[in-house]
């Protein structure tokens, strides 16, 4: 009988040791974890344009019937956001007779306005299209007096003010980059 007891002990002792080790491992609460860090930075863009004629006036002096005088202005997107650009006359005054002073505004081969000098405000907001970051556009203003303008326009004066407006494009141009 002693042999049977020895055999039982030989089987039970290793089994008890294995059960005790398992209980210690499970009871210790040991788990494996892995962590990683990322940072986020958000910067608002700048919507800015420059005007190579800012605070300057296109001055046409002593215009006479048959004359045509032109000047250009360049607008550049110097910001960090793509935009669209518009032009609007904000004020004008004219003592010329209707049709005696003509204004044409062109953007490359596209005519933006073509009509009576004092009626450009009636055109409302003139769409000049997309102006992406770093891009520029040049507009040409041509003031002319028809050769058949009457003597009643002698000594007449005219002036106009314009406003350039950049508007951000739709939010879909925003990008996310991982560095």
pTM equals: 0.73
Question: Is residue 16 within 8 Å of residue 41, measured between CB atoms?
Answer: no
Q: Does 126 share its domain with 80?
A: yes
Q: Does 108 share its domain with 60?
A: yes
Q: Does 54 share its domain with 17?
A: no
List the single range of 18-27, 57-66, 70-79, 170-179 with lowest mean pLDDT. Answer: 18-27
Residues 146, 148, 152: CA angle, nearest 5 degrees: 100
Range of the domain at 3: 1-28
Q: Nearest CA to 159 among 63, 38, 40, 34? A: 63
Q: Does 23 share its domain with 92?
A: no
CATH of the domain at 160: 2.60.40
pLDDT > 60? residue 3: no
Residue 37 lies in a domain: no
Residue 176 lies in a domain: no
What the block records as the tokens of 101 is 């002073």
Q: What is the mean pLDDT of residues 80-94?
A: 91
Strands 68-77 and 136-144: antiparallel
Q: Nearest CA to 69 among 151, 141, 120? A: 141
pLDDT > 80? residue 138: yes
């Amino acid at each position: 009988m002693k042999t049977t007891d020895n055999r039982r002990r030989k089987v039970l002792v290793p089994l008890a040791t294995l059960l005790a080790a398992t209980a210690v491992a499970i009871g210790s609460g040991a788990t494996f974890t892995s962590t990683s860090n990322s940072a986020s930075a958000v910067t608002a863009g700048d919507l800015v344009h420059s005007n190579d004629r800012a605070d300057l006036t296109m001055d046409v002096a002593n215009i006479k019937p048959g004359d045509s005088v032109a000047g250009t202005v360049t607008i550049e997107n110097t910001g960090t956001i793509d935009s669209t650009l518009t032009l609007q006359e904000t004020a004008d005054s004219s003592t010329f007779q209707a049709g005696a002073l003509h204004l044409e505004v062109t953007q490359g081969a596209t005519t933006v306005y073509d009509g009576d000098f004092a009626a450009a405000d009636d055109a409302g907001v003139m769409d000049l299209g997309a102006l992406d970051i770093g891009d520029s556009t040049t507009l040409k203003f041509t003031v002319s007096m028809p050769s058949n303008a009457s003597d009643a326009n002698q000594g007449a004066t005219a002036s106009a003010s314009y406003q350039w407006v950049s508007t951000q494009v739709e939010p879909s141009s925003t990008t996310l980059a991982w560095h």
